[in-house]
Amino acid sequence: MQRLVLNLFVLFSSILFSGIAQAGDRPNILLVMADDMGWSDIGSYGGEIDTPRLDQLAAQGMLFTDFHASVSCSPTRAMLMSGNDNHIAGLGTMSEMLVDNQRGQPGYEGYLNDRVAALPEILKSAGYNTYMAGKWHLGHSEDRLPFTRGFDTTLTMLVGGASHWADRLGILPEDDPAKYASNGAYLETLPADFYSSRSYADFLIDSIRAGRDNGKPFFGYLAFTAPHDPVHVPEPWMSKYDGWYDEGYDVLKTKRWTTAKDLGLIPEDAPLPGPQPLTTPWENLQLYERQTEARGMEVYAGMVDAMDYHYGRVVDFLEDIGELDNTIIVFLSDNGSNPFYSVDYPGADDPEFIAQFDHSYENLGHPGSNYAYGPGFAAASSGALGLYKQTVGEGGIRVPLIISGPGISKDQKTGAFAYVWDILPTLLDAAGVEYPATFDGRQVEPPRGRSMLPLLTGDVNSLYGPDEIVAGEMAGGKWARKGDFKAVLVPAPYGDGNWRLFDLASDPGESIDLSGNMPELLLELTTAWEAYSEEVGVVPAQL
């Protein structure tokens, strides 16, 4: 029945929006992804960081307040590229987290597998120019590079995280030096003046300019590695936020919670989430600890600001060449804010690995530093939400999503629940392209997501029905959603491993557990999660 409802929904939307994608007038697509950016980090979501170009995007399109991704990088990116569940698409867990009992299991290949057709492959076969600049993280081997999955030109970082400068210093010993590739060939060096956000924007602009002569529409994937750690940024952003965060992360979280209410992003009576796991109260820190924490957040804010600026350069270029009005722009983050410090990564406390960095306070944010801002400011970046990356709490999986373009409602907010697997069907629908039953001679799984176009044009106000259940899993964290209610299990060290139930309409920070008051609903949701787990092939890690 659910599949029948989905098919009717897709049929309805394809008929309704066939006029958006007439032959010869198909829209360009600019898909922009931030890396590890918290829900409240940009101005239109309640943040104090200067993000005028993304705020302008929100004014020109639709802002989602209840959009969700996975808990970490590659599972989200697998769903984004496939329109399917991460366990179907090959990233049942991140490749770096695979354990012995998961290796070789279907859906745990550690790369974007061949059970799905990738968004750039489909669009390329439909006559689009396809370009990518930024983070891939969906396969390192030569046959799994983005160039082999449908992109015409690429400049990509292949791993989960690395220096934003030319030195290619990795955040994991196994990824040091970090792997980069361009157009199917590995890169041994980067240009001396490389800085990630600027260089990726430059490459995408150059690619679009070079491909204009063939008259095809373009799909550009701008996958920023900002603001993922290590926190690095050049001037003028390096010093722009000096002193802004001296009051600490507890005060910042409260300010963003208040602003989110003022903006109508959360209910007026939504409670502030309580103390977050692994976070030391600001007043209990030593003076030098406060100074270091605040400095890390200053640089992080500069990274978000710089990312906004370089995204804006791409938009200005599209306007200059007369393509902006016919371009759908999608902006999102791959997951919530990162609670790790740099030494928390596997093997990152190895003395030989540490010795190559300059960890001094004075060097923080400059080349050679390796600093991640930790759980305190990660909790602040979540704003009104609880928890952060690597958890299925709302702060880990609820992320910004803004979409604008031809036919899309302007200056609108929607509280409709949507999921990252809905992006691919939406973009294909807008382009007038069907997801194939077979691709390159192989059967491919149909998407689980659905087109958001009726929502984006204001013809409907919800994407999923009140009785439909959507579920997910990552790293032992479990969630199932029905309407505004969410059952969630957060394992240690961020939770106690017990199922809880929350009403996200009134409590987006997941502060008030309703499991004792509504045991029947909790049972319905946990039972649905078990069915989901069996259907997609979840393989729990056996450590």
Q: Give the residue numbers annotated as catalytic, written as ranges.
A: 73, 137
| Residue among 234, 208, 233, 211 at smallest CA distance from 222 | 208
DSSP 510: -
Which whole-number Å values give the CA distances from 217 to 26, 211, 419, in the listed order?
A: 7, 9, 26
| Residue among 307, 121, 112 at smallest CA distance from 222 | 307
For residues 453-490, one letter each, b for 16 or more C-beta atoms within 10 angstroms of the residue's C-beta and e for the rest, the string is bbbbbeebeebbeeebbbbbbbbbbbbbbbbbbbbbbb
Question: What span, in angstroms and rounded, lies between the C-alpha atoms of 380 and 383?
Answer: 5
Other Cβ atoms within 10 Å of 193 Cβ, number:
10
Q: What share of the chain is helix, strand, coil (3-state, %, to 5)?
A: 35, 15, 50
> Is the previous residue joined to 493 through a cis bond, with omega within 30 degrees of 0?
yes
Other Cβ atoms within 10 Å of 493 Cβ, number:
11
Structure tokens at 230: 């290590």
Give the contacts of 517 (CB within 8 A, at least 6 positions apart). none
The terminus-to-terminus CA distance of the chain in angstroms comes to 38
Question: What span, in angstroms and rounded, lies between the C-alpha atoms of 299 and 134?
Answer: 20
| Residue among 315, 312, 159 at smallest CA distance from 228 | 159
| Residue among 356, 351, 391 at smallest CA distance from 375 | 391
Question: What span, in angstroms and rounded, lies between the C-alpha atoms of 126 and 433?
Answer: 7
**Helix and strand tally (H, E) in the chain?**
15, 18
Q: In 210-318, which ranges are E strands? A: 218-223
| Residue among 46, 85, 56 at smallest CA distance from 402 | 56
Give the contacts of 364 (CB within 8 A, at least 6 positions apart). 231, 292, 295, 296, 299, 371
Radius of gyration of the chain, Cα coordinates, nearest whole angstrom: 22
